Amino acid sequence: MQTLNEMLAQNLLTPDQHFEILSWTTRAKTPEKILEMPPHLWRSLELASVLMGFDVGPAKV
């Protein structure tokens, strides 16, 4: 969750995006459930992670 907070602090996520992603990951009890996060949240997280210099995203099968 520290990385999400850093993304928010660097204005790479809006407060609403931060809240939605944090809420989703907090409720998800397994990695599989996290991967079910809605696409609009994945896009926000992926863009922020690229801008921070690392890549995060759902597993490609």
pLDDT tens profile 16-50: 999 999 999 999 989 999 999 999 999 999 999 99
* Whole-angstrom distance, CA of residue 24 vs CA of residue 33: 9
pLDDT for res 60 = 54
Residue 13 corresponds to which tokens in the numbers above? Answer: 């996520």
Please indicate, yes or no, if residue 21 is contained in any of the structural domains.
yes
Please indicate, yes or no, if residue 61 is contained in any of the structural domains.
no
Please indicate, yes or no, if residue 57 is contained in any of the structural domains.
no
pLDDT for res 54 = 77
Report yes or no: 53 and 14 within 8 Å, Cβ to Cβ: no
59, pLDDT greater than 60:
no
How many domains are contained in the chain? Answer: 1
Range of the domain at 9: 2-52
Please indicate, yes or no, if residue 35 is contained in any of the structural domains.
yes
